[in-house]
Chains A and B, each alone.
Chain A
Amino acid sequence: MYDFLIIGAGITGSLIARDLSHYQCRVAVLEKDNDVANEATSANSAIIHSGHDPHDGSLKLRLNLRGNAMYEGLCKELKVDFERNGAFVVAVNQSESSNLLEIYEKAKERGIPCSLLSREEAIAKEPNLSDDVILALDLPSSGIVSPWEVCIAAMEDAINNGVELYLGNKVLKIDKKDESFVVHTTKGNYESRFVINCAGVYSDEIYAMVSDRPGFFVKARKGEYYVLDKFDEPLVTRTIYPLPSEKGKGVLVVPTIHHNVLLGPNSQIIDDKEANDNTAAALENVRKDAMKTVKNIPMNMVIRTYAGLRSSGSTGDFIIEEAKDVARFVNVAAIESPGLASAPAIAEYVHEEILAKKYVFVLKDEPRIERRPWIIINRMGNEEKQALVKQDPRFAQMVCRCEYISEGEIVDIIHRNCGARTVKAVKRRVRPGAGRCQGGFCEPRVVAILARELNLSPMDILLDGDESKLLIARTKE
């Protein structure tokens, strides 16, 4: 019997698991996919928003502001990168300028560091702003992270400290008992006093397993993006937002923590919760919209496109509460933007405002086991590298020429407690395949390493999902 069962190993589920790992309780996480961080957490804008955008009085606003303040400390504890690179919201005509003034006034009221910049002042800081930009709101507290790195690191830290992770466990049915729930998955049954529903776009369906009258539904809001190669001279150093509209924050130009640039997203509610495909029309709109705020965007530096499905709830706000009709069943649903920015604050809120009212938390006696950071050869000094190579020459066997990744780094992340088992899981952790050749050079090598380390045939190695085998037969002899 667990005390807490978390359904979904995206960034909210993982950070809640990590929070609970501080206390004397049994915690398990069920994830339908074969890796954590595999859905919305891996396909969003990767921004820690300042909090200028959510509606007054919303949970989104409260948790965004709190989350933004928490990120720096969180990333330090998890030993992952965080950069407070700032953001501009830009106006490109007079009516937008007056709207921008309202956003500025609101940001000030909310205690968000901000200032208004004339075109000249803004251009001095971001020379590639489009010629139409006439006014900019500077939001220096905005930041960037790698969302999946935060999620994976949080899960590694949680597992280090007693949390159990069960991948490939799709929830089929939940039985309510007097004092507990029995959650039936594709792999087994798990009994727990509390269930915390962090199932993303499926959180309404999970809730419907215990409720006859779920009070909300969740739709997939698709957002499409371009990824641009690394720049010698940065295109932009800050995140550039257009004026927001009812549909959301609009198409952004985002520098990433790995020095790429993202363009996106558009915003479209769709019925199919799995349809994360790219469409020509949406990509074209993203391109056009991005060019309204930033000029000189070199579309010949595009290396990839992707689409993410955000959980858009019927209430318009995050839905984070104990279900009104089911005790000890906690919904953490409709976590769309600013979900990433809010995630650590969501974990804190779930603990303090919901669980603590029903459960007496006692801190663990033993000291926490700290997370060992990823080994990143490319960032090490010469002596440090040489010492590592002496221990294991695989740290000098280069697998990826775009991002300079060694075999040793890949072997390390395969054998971690939340280790990589697919080509995409390897990419998510140490980035072979994330560069300009998109795996053209490294993929056969990554497949060979995965097969060897996991004691599998290369023919069993998956790109991503369970039906995504890469190789289908041996060649004729």
Chain B
Amino acid sequence: MRTIELVIIGGGSAGLASAISAYEHGIKDILILERDKELGGILQQCIHNGFGLHTFKEELSGPAYAERYIDKINEYKIEVKLNAMVTHLSKDRIIEYVTPDEGYVTLQAKAVILAMGCRERTRGAIAIPGYRPAGIWSAGTAQRYLNMEGYMVGKRIFILGSGDIGLIMARRMTLEGAKVLGVAEIMPYSNGLPRNIKQCLEDFDIPLYLSHTITRIEGKDRVNQITIQKVDERFQAIANTELTFDVDTVLFSVGLIPENALSEEADVTLHQKTKGPIVDETYQTDVPGIFACGNVLHVHDLVDWVSLEGQKAGISAARYLNHEVTSGKTIQMVAGEGLGYIVPHHINPSNVEKSIECMFRVTKTAKFVELVVKRDGQVLKRIKKRHLAPAEMERIVLTKDELMGCNESIRIEIGEVTL
């Protein structure tokens, strides 16, 4: 059985960035396993602009953004297997994968980075009533048909969920000549980035129905009509608010779920909120030598942050392989009032060089509030925020000094309105 220093599962934005940074930190024996026929992951079907503003200070398309990383992979001659699906991962880091070239292969990795990304929540998962005809897709699948395979899935579209893929698809389908009749969002606020609401819906006069959901899908073979209804604060449909639309297609953009079947097989503990692994300051999971980054860890809003996280996980894996990671006392990161989660979930300050960036999401929208950081119950600092929304990932930096003074936990919560 072949032994490899570092195996990266997934050649999308997280995997590519982690491979490059691990290489640049001295690990040369790296293998990327990618199940698709090319590197880049979901970026390859995101042909719209808007990627890389933070990383490259310019607006790139998804494929162009991926290309920058793929060029580096090629330059460094990092080994890549395409059409390679990992079928098993053990907690001892024994990996089984399969490709048409090699058949079924087993190898031993000294370290593994999980970078499998996420999958879309489906119509079935949210049990939307009605028929189950053709014409119903998750937005990303329709995007693949459109941008990769070159086919239109429909001409009269309704979109459930205001996730970013759905919004991007609203604009894309419109530009392809389809009529997008509306977007319904069950929450009272949008789940997409504000810029996508503006550029993908408002600029094309596509109505957004907040606090609405689809309550009926008609059409035996192909969808031909849907009904939407307003919902109350418990998300129950309100009678006599029905609106019907004649459509041939319904796209679902109702959330993303980290793809952790392999992590679970390897006994990696997952977090209830993120549905991704619980990790420490090195992005290491609770299984030694297994790291996680990108959307498999928690769903991000921008690819730039995925790449950044991949980069950090790559450095950490290199340090782990070079025995530079120390164990010791850890600080629990606690998501307080108004926060869904914080990544990393716990921190050992001795592995933090100068500072560490913590990422989190809020559970509801808020304006003119402050984020309160409490260290062992005492207020450490307050950070003013003009605007917070669940659609946007928030970041907060903690310095090594701030961490060193902590005994047990650091809690972040949304404080009072500051107006």
Contact = CB atoms under 8 A, between A and B. Distances in A.
Contact of B133 (A459, A468, A471): A468
A186 to B, nearest CB: 16
Interface stretch (B139-147, B329-337, B370-378, B394-402): B139-147
Nearest to A473: B152
Question: Interface extent on A, as a size class?
Answer: 35 or more
Given A302-B124, A437-B119, A476-B176, A232 B264 contact: yes
Contacts of A438: 122-125, 138
B134 A226 contact: no
Contact of A475 (B140, B151, B215): B151
Given A398-B85, A443-B141, A473-B151, A468 B98 contact: no
Nearest to B136: A463
Contacts of B141: 439-441, 443-444
A278 B130 contact: yes
A396 B102 contact: yes
Contact of A280 (B35, B87, B215): B215
B368 interface: no
A401 B118 CA distance: 12
Interface stretch (A289-297, A342-350, A383-391): A383-391
Interface string B338-369: 00000000000000000000000000000000
B103 interface: yes
B134 A444 contact: no
A185 interface: no
Contact of A463 (B134, B151, B176, B217): B134
Interface in A440-462: 440-441, 443-444, 448, 458-459, 462
Given A302-B125, A398-B35, A389 B104 contact: yes
Interface string B135-169: 10110110011101111111100000000000000
Nearest to B141: A440
A118 to B, nearest CB: 35
Contacts of B149: 444, 448, 458
A476 B132 CA distance: 29
B25 interface: no
Interface residues of B, number: 52
A472 interface: yes
B188 interface: no
A471 B153 contact: yes
Contacts of A389: 100, 103-104
- Interface of B, helix, strand, loop or mixed by DSSP: mixed
Contacts of A404: 85, 87
Contacts of A227: 124
B120 interface: yes
A89 B338 CA distance: 45
Contacts of A458: 149, 151
A438 B248 CA distance: 20
Q: Which of B119, B125, B130, B138 has the most CB of A within 10 A?
A: B125
A469 B134 contact: yes
A305 interface: yes
Interface in B163-190: 176-177
B61 interface: no
Nearest to B124: A304
Contacts of A464: 133-134, 221
A276 interface: yes
A471 B150 CA distance: 10
B395 to A, nearest CB: 28
Contacts of B133: 463-465, 468
Contacts of A390: 103
A24 interface: no
Contacts of A243: none
Nearest to B237: A280
29 contacts: A226-B127, A279-B129, A302-B125, A389-B100, A389-B104, A393-B103, A396-B98, A396-B99, A396-B103, A397-B99, A398-B83, A404-B85, A436-B125, A437-B119, A438-B125, A440-B119, A440-B120, A440-B137, A444-B144, A458-B149, A462-B134, A463-B134, A464-B134, A465-B220, A468-B221, A471-B145, A472-B155, A474-B151, A475-B150
